[in-house]
């Protein structure tokens, strides 16, 4: 990028105008003796300013390739009083042809800090706003904020998130730094100051979502701008589905989607597993191999987002008497779990954009009155569940899927596609915090109330499905907190630590203490084995007891933790398995959908479940779990979630597995399922999920990622579903070959 150097005296002619409410504290192009500028492993290499291609004049700062190069600004005397300001401002530009990361630290006189990370894109300069109180997209009700920068009053503005707290009356310094640059990196900076009002912060989240639930500031091929366009897209898709379904009908499949033409297994009337020639298979009720290609959350309820209190975020919410007003509802997702902490706008009135868009696509208009007759009575159009269910099943089968994954609409169980079900175990049993607790603390399986809750949940789940051959089986739960995030021993053994911190009112703690007393007999034996001085056994019974860290000198610490966590996990899975065998003996127990796990939990699951299940957010299954460990357990494995997303189709987040562009999702999907098929233990993979999450955040936890096969408008992402279909059909062809009888 070509830049010219200019003497600072001319810089004023090329400065960008201040936005309303801004005041400059220091100008790097025309420096005055009001601010101290100190660099550490960074430099301002020249006093001349540089003119950018856009005609703006800024000053270069170079950050050297060390651990943390930095530039610090502080007042010449005293402190800054920013008590009347809402944000700190910086006029910045990446001097590289790529994006750079700049960390900001605001330090108060009491040592407390407020921090922010600027993801500075390549391209022209922008005004960066750093909120001076903790702020993030989560406070606006969503996990990921809208793309930055955006245009406001003709200028590019980039709003960051902030963490921490600082006394704004006593600000002593501001530091800009870069985390571990591998080579020298440069930015261009013009000025540093504060913003008096919060007009820009408010503007960043105003008018984000249009009447169809789409991001207003973005453009992409599937974006809808009118009801007629929405209906036309639906009609085009119907023609394509008709052709694809006709092709599907020519494939060699049994009633349940099993691959025919190969070596048959024994038909037992329900889905089951079998290992043959070193490979695990799911087997259909008719005795044919079945590779489960599933989609999670095939439901019409995924388009709901809270609107109460943030109505300005939406440009066209329906009026109270409008036909689409029937898609408003009320909710409350402030459940105290980790997934809801720090989130704003998590209760109150919501609107269902997906259901409203289905209404727009399929609702029949009222007949117009004739000259001779008055207008006939016209019932209000409503969501046509049966039509949606039939259309969704057509899609899944046309796209090569054969399984309804977890949390899918019960009305889809229409003897067309195999399905799975969750066991929703809830009750007043005790629980143990591991520090993760995203969906809640760990249930205490030693509590008799857990066994009763399990019995009740399994009985309810199995009541209408006990003899249904289309049901593959049940998932025990989803992403329980078997461990805490991190690599240290306190994360690995978070369940043991969390249990010992509790009171003896908790059955799990009583079980742990009994284990230790049976082994060591008294506090002297435990003290010697653990390298501690425990003067009385009763001290372990007190709440807040903190055991020592495992160490090579005292190996019994880790051995005791492992043993407790193994017994805990075995008690948990055995309780569920016993109940399922009684109420649903014909169906499989599909494991615990592990995210964070421990070897003890996985081994216990293998012991009592028919299938191990993992939610794998990685390029391939082999990158997401320990292949050698699972091979030793010799159990079939189901990938119960995987996903790839980009940032160019409306929702602000790409999900856990980001690819650069929409066009990259199909190849990433193909690579994943190909790698899964190469693993002889894997019997299926389930995509997460059917529908994109609302850009403004789903009800459950504000997640707003591009996960879907279809968008919030019910329009499929055409290139992606075509690629998915090719991959799925290829998988089933390979399964057919794997099950073929050996040639002589």
- In 339-467, the DSSP E strands lie at 347-352, 403-404, 418-422, 431-432, 442-443
Residue 465: alpha-carbon gap to chain centroid: 31
- In 424-552, the DSSP E strands lie at 431-432, 442-443, 471-475
The sign of the CA dihedral 603, 608, 613, 614 is negative
Cβ 274 vs Cβ 246: under 8 Å: no
pLDDT tens sequence across 289-299: 999 999 999 99
Cβ 28 vs Cβ 192: under 8 Å: yes
pLDDT at 255 over 50: yes
In angstroms, the CA 157 to CA 206 distance is: 14
In angstroms, the CA 375 to CA 360 distance is: 22
HSE (side-chain half, CA atoms, 13 Å) at 167: 9
The sign of the CA dihedral 163, 165, 170, 172 is negative
In angstroms, the CA 218 to CA 151 distance is: 12
Cβ 82 vs Cβ 194: under 8 Å: yes
pLDDT at 411: 94
Whether this prediction's pTM lies above 0.85 is answered by: yes
In angstroms, the CA 174 to CA 275 distance is: 63
In angstroms, the CA 717 to CA 710 distance is: 6
pLDDT band at 250 (very low <50, low <70, confident <90, very high): confident
pLDDT at 362: 85
Instruction: Output the six-digit token pair for 680.
Output: 């002889």
pLDDT at 45: 81
pLDDT band at 11 (very low <50, low <70, confident <90, very high): very low
In angstroms, the CA 641 to CA 650 distance is: 22
Task: For residue 369, count other CB atoms closer than 10 A to its CB.
Answer: 10
pLDDT at 628: 86
Paired sense of beta strands 126-131 and 113-120, if any: unpaired
pLDDT at 2: 33
> What average pLDDT does the segment 34-38 reach?
92
Helix (H, G, I), strand (E, B) or coil at 243: helix
Helix (H) or strand (E) run with residue 462 in it: helix 448-462
> What average pLDDT does the segment 19-39 reach?
86
As a whole number of Å, the end-to-end CA separation of the chain is 67
pLDDT at 717 over 60: yes
Helix (H, G, I), strand (E, B) or coil at 190: strand
Q: Dihedral angle at the C-alpha atoms of 617, 395, 467, 732, nearest 10 degrees?
A: -60
**Does the bond joining 689 to the residue before it have cis omega, within 30 degrees of 0?**
yes
Helix (H, G, I), strand (E, B) or coil at 685: strand
pLDDT tens sequence across 163-180: 999 999 999 999 999 999
Instruction: Output the six-digit token pair for 63.
Output: 């950050």
Q: What percent of the chain has pLDDT over 90?
A: 85
Cβ 213 vs Cβ 694: under 8 Å: yes
pLDDT tens sequence across 499-556: 999 999 999 999 999 999 999 999 999 999 999 999 999 999 999 999 999 999 999 9
Start-end of H helices in 531-554? 538-541
In angstroms, the CA 711 to CA 702 distance is: 17
Crossing angle of the two packed helices 227-248 and 385-398, in degrees rounded to 10 = 50
> What average pLDDT does the segment 628-646 reach?
95
pLDDT band at 252 (very low <50, low <70, confident <90, very high): confident
Instruction: Output the six-digit token pair for 281.
Output: 């298979």
Instruction: Give 554's DSSP letter.
Output: B
pLDDT at 6: 37
pLDDT at 492: 97
pLDDT at 12 over 50: no
pLDDT tens sequence across 587-635: 999 999 999 999 999 999 999 999 999 999 999 999 998 888 899 999 9
Instruction: Give 413 or 436, the one with higher predicted confidence.
Output: 413
Instruction: Give 220's DSSP letter.
Output: -
pLDDT tens sequence across 421-460: 999 899 999 999 998 899 999 999 999 999 999 999 999 9
Crossing angle of the two packed helices 599-608 and 555-583, in degrees rounded to 10 = 30
pLDDT at 13: 41
pLDDT band at 206 (very low <50, low <70, confident <90, very high): very high
pLDDT at 414: 84
> Angle 87-88-94 (CA atoms, 0-180°, nearest 5)?
125
Smallest CA-to-CA distance from 305 within 652, 678, 743 is with 652
Q: What is the mean pLDDT of the chain?
A: 93
Smallest CA-to-CA distance from 290 within 299, 280, 282, 278 is with 282
Query: What burial class does residue 202 get, using C-beta atoms within 10 Å of its C-beta: 0-12 exposed, 13-18 middle, 19+ buried?
Result: exposed
Helix (H) or strand (E) run with residue 71 in it: strand 70-75
pLDDT at 9: 40
> Angle 694-699-703 (CA atoms, 0-180°, nearest 5)?
55
pLDDT tens sequence across 380-411: 677 889 999 999 999 999 999 999 999 999 99
pLDDT at 34: 87
Output the CA–CA distances (angstroms, integers) from residue 659 to 221, 277, 539, 669, in the order listed.
Answer: 18, 37, 52, 11
Residue 72: alpha-carbon gap to chain centroid: 36
Residue 105, sorted as left (phi over 0), alpha (psi -120 to 50) or beta, turns out to be beta
Instruction: Give 742 or 661, the one with higher predicted confidence.
Output: 661
pLDDT band at 737 (very low <50, low <70, confident <90, very high): confident
In angstroms, the CA 666 to CA 661 distance is: 10
Residue identified by tokens 């298979």 is 281
pLDDT at 86: 96
pLDDT band at 31 (very low <50, low <70, confident <90, very high): confident
pLDDT band at 8 (very low <50, low <70, confident <90, very high): very low
Cβ 639 vs Cβ 684: under 8 Å: yes
In angstroms, the CA 385 to CA 351 distance is: 18
Helix and strand totals (H; E) in the chain: 15, 32
């Amino acid at each position: 990028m070509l830049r010219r150097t200019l003497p600072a005296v001319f810089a004023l002619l090329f400065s960008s105008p201040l936005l309303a409410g801004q005041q400059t504290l220091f100008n790097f192009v025309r420096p005055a003796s009001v601010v101290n500028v100190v660099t550490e492993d960074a430099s301002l290499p020249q006093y001349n300013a540089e003119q950018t291609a856009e005609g703006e004049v800024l000053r270069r700062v170079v950050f050297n390739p060390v651990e943390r190069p930095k530039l610090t600004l502080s007042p010449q005397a005293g402190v800054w009083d920013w008590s009347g300001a809402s944000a700190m401002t910086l006029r910045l530009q990446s001097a590289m042809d790529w994006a750079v990361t700049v960390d900001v630290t605001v330090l108060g006189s009491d040592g407390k800090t407020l921090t922010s990370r600027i993801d500075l894109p390549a391209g022209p300069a922008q005004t960066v706003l750093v909120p001076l109180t903790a702020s993030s997209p989560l406070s606006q009700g969503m996990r990921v904020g809208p793309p930055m920068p955006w245009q406001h009053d003709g200028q590019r503005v980039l709003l960051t998130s902030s963490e921490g707290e600082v006394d704004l009356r006593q600000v002593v310094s501001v530091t800009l730094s870069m985390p571990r640059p591998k080579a020298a990196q440069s930015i261009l900076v013009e000025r540093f100051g504060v913003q008096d009002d919060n007009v820009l912060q408010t503007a960043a989240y105003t008018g984000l979502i249009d009447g169809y639930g789409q991001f207003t500031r973005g453009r992409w091929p599937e974006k809808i701008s009118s009801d007629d366009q929405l209906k036309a897209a639906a009609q085009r898709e119907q023609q394509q589905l008709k052709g694809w379904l006709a092709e599907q009908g020519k494939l060699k499949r049994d009633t349940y989607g099993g691959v025919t033409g190969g070596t048959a297994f024994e038909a037992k009337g329900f889905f089951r597993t079998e290992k043959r020639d070193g490979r695990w298979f799911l087997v259909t009720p008719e005795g044919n191999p079945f590779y489960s290609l599933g989609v999670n959350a095939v439901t019409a309820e995924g388009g709901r987002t809270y609107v109460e209190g943030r109505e300005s975020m939406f440009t066209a919410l329906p009026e109270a008497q409008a036909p689409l007003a029937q898609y408003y509802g009320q909710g409350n997702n402030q459940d105290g779990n980790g997934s809801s902490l720090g989130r704003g706008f998590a209760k109150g009135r919501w609107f269902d954009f997906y259901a409203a868009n289905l209404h727009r696509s399929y609702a029949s208009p009222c007949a117009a009155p004739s000259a001779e007759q008055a207008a006939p009575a016209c019932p209000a159009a409503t969501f046509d569940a049966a039509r949606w269910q039939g259309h969704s099943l057509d899609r899944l089968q046309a796209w090569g899927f054969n399984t309804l994954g977890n949390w899918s609409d019960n009305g889809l169980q229409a003897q067309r596609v195999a399905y799975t079900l969750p066991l929703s175990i809830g009750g007043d049993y005790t629980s143990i915090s591991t520090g993760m607790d995203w969906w809640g603390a760990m249930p205490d399986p030693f509590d008799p109330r857990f066994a009763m809750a399990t019995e009740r949940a399994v009985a309810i789940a199995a009541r209408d499905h006990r003899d249904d051959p289309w049901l593959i089986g049940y998932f025990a739960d989803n992403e329980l907190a078997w461990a805490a995030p991190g690599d240290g021993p306190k994360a690995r053994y978070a369940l043991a630590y969390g249990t010992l911190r509790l009171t003896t009112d908790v059955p799990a703690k009583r079980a742990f203490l009994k284990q230790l007393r049976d082994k060591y007999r008294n506090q002297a034996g435990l003290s010697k084995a653990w390298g501690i001085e425990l003067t009385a056994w009763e001290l372990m019974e007190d709440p807040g007891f903190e055991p020592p860290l495992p160490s090579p000198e005292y190996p019994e610490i880790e051995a005791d933790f492992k043993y407790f966590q193994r017994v805990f996990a075995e008690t948990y899975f055995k309780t569920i398995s016993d109940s399922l065998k009684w109420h649903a003996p014909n169906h499989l127990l599909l494991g615990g959908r592990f995210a964070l796990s421990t070897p003890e939990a996985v081994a216990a699951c293998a012991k009592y479940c028919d299938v191990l299940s993992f939610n794998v957010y990685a390029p391939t299954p082999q990158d997401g779990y320990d292949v050698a460990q699972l091979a030793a357990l010799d159990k079939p494995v189901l990938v119960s979630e995987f996903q790839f997303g980009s940032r160019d189709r409306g929702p602000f987040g790409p999900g856990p597995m980001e690819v650069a562009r929409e066009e990259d999702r199909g190849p990433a999907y193909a690579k994943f399922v190909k790698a899964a098929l190469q693993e002889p233990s894997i019997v299926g993979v389930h995509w997460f999920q059917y529908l994109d999450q609302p850009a403004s955040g789903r009800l459950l936890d504000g997640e707003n990622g591009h996960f879907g096969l279809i968008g919030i408008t019910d329009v499929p992402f055409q290139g992606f579903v075509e690629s998915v279909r090719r991959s799925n059909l290829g998988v089933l062809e390979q399964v057919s070959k794997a099950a073929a009888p050996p040639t002589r």
